[in-house]
Chains A and B, each alone.
Chain A
């Protein structure tokens, strides 16, 4: 799948030159949801670009969606943003709207 995509995107280019970003397939932004007690839930955003200032992104999220949240440091996955409530749609719209992540690189998990 990724191979085909990279081939199509790099039609005019030398196909043997490493593209770096697209080829690795690891730059997905995963947006997940977790159930808590009752109808509450938690949204986690994993895999945002590392060069971002997570605190600033979080601040923007919080302001935009009117929810609380924080940045969690994970041993393997690096920094993960947690938000209160089901913000999956909001997050993906926000990320694409502000060019923080490409639409096809965002993966929404959960039900």
Chain B
């Protein structure tokens, strides 16, 4: 064990020749006091120091650590970029050991606990995001996709289609059923109405997929917020200007939406003979 420790120290010395800066880097070890600028060297030093310190009191722990350090020695021959990653890893293990050894831990679970080395950028970033995620999860910018139920569509007779869960979908979108109906009928170019059980009966044969596509367009146009993509929005109609505007409840953005126009509808039924 001691041999290994010494071995490490030797390699450490070699590393320290790259850049020599004298100062007390870590408070754990007492033998090595050379601080290197490179993170690799830094981690290396921390590791050796901890190893040496541990070797004094706890044999089992030290063995573990030496295992680590042995693998570490192998890694040293690899390019610098990899070594950098390794350095962070090893730092963490070193920190864990340091906690146990110093018998005094602040308990916040941060990588720099129990040592007064400099913080790494990644660690600080992790800390910030951890706090952010804990306190308000919606701010982290993770996508929460709103899932709507697929429309349930049944055929009524041969010429009519019934949209069974129409009301339910209107509720999830938080829109007036009349508005949705107007849009659906205008887009599908047919006529239809609500029946006694609040289902939408549309004239013509339509596949569920057709409804899905139209509903998707409806959500894009009249429900989804353009800036934050949430569907927690309200549709306001200004009675003076007759402009319909969409206001987002999440980010308070608002935009105007086009009124629903049926457009040209060709006559497909037979003309009544006069």
Is B189 in contact with A110, judged by CB distance below 8 angstroms? yes
Is B263 in contact with A82, judged by CB distance below 8 angstroms? no
Mind listing 11 A-B residue pairs with CB under 8 Å?
A1-B226, A30-B264, A32-B264, A34-B189, A34-B190, A44-B263, A72-B266, A109-B263, A110-B187, A111-B206, A111-B211
Tell me how far the C-beta of B229 lies from the nearest C-beta in chain A, rounded to whole angstroms. Answer: 14
B186's closest neighbor in chain A, by CB? A109
Map CB proximity to A onto B189-213 as digits: 1 under 8 Å, 0 otherwise. 1100000000000001111011101
Asked if B55 is at the interface of the complex by the 8 Å CB criterion, the answer is no
Q: What band does the interface of chain B fall in when counting residues whose beta carbon is under 8 Å from A?
A: 20 to 34
**How far, in whole Å, are A111 and B161 apart by their CA atoms in the complex?**
14
Asked if B136 is at the interface of the complex by the 8 Å CB criterion, the answer is no
Is A111 in contact with B188, judged by CB distance below 8 angstroms? yes
Asked if B81 is at the interface of the complex by the 8 Å CB criterion, the answer is no
Is B226 in contact with A111, judged by CB distance below 8 angstroms? no
Contact residues in B for A32 (Cβ distance below 8 Å) = 189, 263-264
Is B226 in contact with A74, judged by CB distance below 8 angstroms? no
Q: What band does the interface of chain A fall in when counting residues whose beta carbon is under 8 Å from B?
A: 20 to 34
Is A77 in contact with B263, judged by CB distance below 8 angstroms? yes
**How far, in whole Å, are A74 and B263 apart by their CA atoms in the complex?**
10
Asked if B237 is at the interface of the complex by the 8 Å CB criterion, the answer is no
**How far, in whole Å, are A74 and B206 apart by their CA atoms in the complex?**
27
Residues of A that sit less than 8 Å from B by CB: 1, 25, 30, 32-37, 42, 44, 46, 72, 74, 77, 80, 82, 109-111
B203's closest neighbor in chain A, by CB? A35
Map CB proximity to A onto B244-266 as digits: 1 under 8 Å, 0 otherwise. 00000000000100100001111
Contact residues in B for A74 (Cβ distance below 8 Å) = 264
Map CB proximity to A onto B154-192 as digits: 1 under 8 Å, 0 otherwise. 000000000000000000000000000000001111100
Is A42 in contact with B205, judged by CB distance below 8 angstroms? no
**How far, in whole Å, are A35 and B213 apart by their CA atoms in the complex?**
16
Is B265 in contact with A46, judged by CB distance below 8 angstroms? no
Asked if B235 is at the interface of the complex by the 8 Å CB criterion, the answer is no
Contact residues in A for B186 (Cβ distance below 8 Å) = 109
**Known contacts A33-B189, A35-B205, A110-B187; A80 and B264 CB within 8 A of each other:** yes
Asked if B214 is at the interface of the complex by the 8 Å CB criterion, the answer is yes
**How far, in whole Å, are A82 and B190 apart by their CA atoms in the complex?**
16
**How far, in whole Å, are A74 and B226 apart by their CA atoms in the complex?**
35
Residue of A35, A46, A80 with most chain B CB atoms under a 10 A cut-off: A35
Contact of B266 among A1, A82, A110, A111 (CB under 8 A): A82
9 closest pairs, A vs B, by CB?
Answer: A111-B210, A35-B204, A34-B189, A46-B264, A80-B264, A36-B268, A77-B264, A109-B187, A44-B264
